[in-house]
Chains A and B, each alone.
Chain A
Amino acid sequence: MGGGGRTIPALLVTLAVLLAVHPMLPGWAVNMVGLSLANGLAVLGLLVIMRAGLVSFGHGLYFGLGSYGAAMAATFLGVTDAFLMIAIGMASAALVAFVLGFLMARYRGIFFALLNLAFSMLLYGLLVNSAVLGSTDGFSMPIPSYLGYAPVDATSRVSFLLYALICVLAFAAALVVHRYLQSTMGYIGEGIRENEVRVEYLGASVRRAIHIKYVIAAAITGLGGVLTVLLIGHVTPEDTVYWTKSGELVFVAILSGTGSVAAPFLGSMLFELVRTYALQYAPDLWQMLLGATLLAVIMFLPGGLWSVVRLARRKA
């Protein structure tokens, strides 16, 4: 929360800049910014529970529920509206999180991480075995319309409308989470991380707080999943629910740091940028680079990239 009241103006400026530079960006850059923001949303979800000291190794479960929820609604139910798809994707993630939350709220540390992993792998097993959903190949979805307006420019999937929608939704989610973290419920999370028993003595229900955070985290990550599938237009189990996706989300969260709601977006922007170049020039070194970075961050930069930003701010 460093910077106190400066986060909201900074986010607003970023939103304005992102929208203003759109005409100047080449197609690949628009796509990359969109993907980073969508992925950043997924990581933002993770940040909500990480603030309470809980790390999930299966958060791809909710990313996948968002993606599959939206894509299935489009392909099988004939839903054409992007907003409706977003609602469906987020609702399916939140609903599953609400049900599983009764269970998850009882677990901490490694068991929380592993139970999430188990459920994400269950969904993976389910998806891989459903021939209707294209099993491991996944399936494609049609280009959506926006409140009845269908973009004429059918050559590219990423219209300005979708780009703007992603920017605005990322901004809105960041704002909501920022406000939430500064509310009493948000601070209870910090308390849970430090000492649960004392939080209970103060009269708050730790389980209920974790349950609520878990659902919020799932809904936001689900939103990230929906937006990703709207951008790519194709969904596969391996890119959404498999444990490597969950690992990637945790990786970006650690890299970014949990110090601010802006951190996940910054982190995933950097992640996408490096991935684009690394996969092009040194595809066999990409994972090694990831691993080395993760080690370096854990050892030398426990607050993630955000602590660098904070340091620069203090000096300025």
Chain B
Amino acid sequence: MLTLAAIMIDGVIYASWLFLVAIGLTLIYGVMNILNVAHGSLYALGAYAAAWLVGEYFLAGWPPFASFAVLIVAAAAVGLVFGTVIERGLLRFMYGRDEIVIVLVTYAVFLILEDVMKLVWGVESYMPYQPRYLLGNVSIAGLPFVVYDLCLIGVAVVAGGLVWLGLNRTRLGKLLHAVIFDRELASAMGINVTRIFTGTFVVGAMLGALGGAATAPLISVSPGIGVEVIVIAFAVVVIGGLGSIEGAAIGALIVGLGRATAVHMLPEIELFIVFGVMSLVLVVRPEGLFGRRVVRKI
């Protein structure tokens, strides 16, 4: 019983983390049809920027509770700067080319950013544990949990909710749907597709950086953290269906609960679960659990 409670709570926490990491990826794919390998770098950049700023912040001795704002500001700044530079400076020249070619372009960006981070922040690790330490622990059903980790659930729900509302309940969301449905026709109707693309990519980049910034207090931020994250984010997004926000949520829950079960019952198969589910979904429903079926054109 205790194990079940632990699995549920651990699973939901992990799912929230996965969702935060994957939502930007699926948003960008959904609107722009770009499978962004550099999303892993944006995650890592967000983590680095947050770790570094939080470190400076606490050194300066300002009120500790405002450090959460520092995390969010770091993520927003990273997303804005790098998202704009990547989309305006590079990706816009690639539109209309093969999907695979664009994946390779973002892979190149990923490689470049890996070294940019080493040059900027060096190779030693950062441990911005303070924000997590600040909130303390709480006991649920007799099990101790870190409050910060539980807050991740809230952050994921808020981020997912905002994106969902933005897509489905606003004028901008309607424009986005028009662009997704038919890029050329949307453009002919007077929608500024270029601006929508830039905007989407920047928002996606911010979400990726937010995933990193929120994770920074949990880990030791060091070179290579984006390498592992990107394939796991791919798995989550593919399971839910490329480009679907609801899908990313379901995918994150499946992987999160599956992994938590594995960790508590059979730790050896932890990594196996993630990609096992991904393979299974691709085999049975290649378009993902929530994806749209696309008719193959002659």
Contacts and interface: CB of A to CB of B under 8 A. Distances in A.
Chain A interface, >50% SS class? helix
A118 B278 contact: yes
Given A119-B279, A244-B227, A298-B105, A55 B100 contact: yes
Contact of A113 (B100, B112, B231, B276): B100
Given A243-B231, A285-B115, A295-B108, A121 B275 contact: yes
Contact of A291 (B110, B118, B123): B110
Interface in A81-135: 103, 107, 109-111, 113-115, 117-119, 121-122, 124-126, 128-129
Interface core residue of A113, A115, A129, A291 (most chain B CB under 10 Å): A291
A111 B107 CA distance: 17
Interface of A: 55, 57, 103, 107, 109-111, 113-115, 117-119, 121-122, 124-126, 128-129, 197, 243-244, 247, 250-251, 254, 284-288, 290-292, 294-295, 298-299
B114 interface: yes
Contacts of A284: 115, 118-119, 123
A118 B275 contact: yes
Interface string B263-286: 000001111101110110011001
Given A122-B276, A291-B110, A286 B104 contact: no
Nearest to B283: A103
A133 to B, nearest CB: 13
A110 B35 contact: yes
Please report whether the interface of chain B is mostly helix, strand, loop or mixed according to DSSP: helix
Interface in B228-245: 231, 234-235, 238, 242
Given A117-B234, A126-B272, A110 B111 contact: no
Contact of B103 (A113, A115, A197, A243): A113
A128 B271 contact: yes
B271 A291 contact: no
Given A122-B276, A287-B112, A294-B108, A111 B271 contact: no
Interface residues of B, number: 43
A115 B242 CA distance: 13
A288 B105 contact: no
Contacts, number: 109
B104 A291 contact: no
B286 to A, nearest CB: 5
Given A286-B115, A295-B90, A125 B108 contact: no
A244 to B, nearest CB: 7
A50 to B, nearest CB: 10
B104 A288 contact: no
A280 to B, nearest CB: 16
A288 B114 CA distance: 7
A279 to B, nearest CB: 12
B111 A294 contact: yes
A111 B288 CA distance: 10
Nearest to A128: B271
A288 B115 contact: yes
Given A55-B100, A294-B104, A298-B101, A122 B279 contact: yes
Nearest to A254: B104
B279 A291 contact: no
B275 A125 contact: yes
A129 B266 CA distance: 11
Contact of A298 (B108, B110, B276): B108
Given A115-B282, A125-B272, A125-B275, A288 B100 contact: no
A260 B268 CA distance: 43
Interface string B88-112: 0010010000111101110111111
B298 interface: yes
B116 interface: yes
Contact of A114 (B118, B123, B282): B282
Given A126-B272, A291-B111, A111 B35 contact: no
B107 A247 contact: yes
B122 to A, nearest CB: 9
A118 B111 contact: no
B94 to A, nearest CB: 8
Contacts of A294: 104-105, 107-108, 111
A250 B104 contact: yes
A111 B108 contact: no
Given A114-B234, A286-B115, A290-B111, A129 B272 contact: yes
Nearest to A103: B283
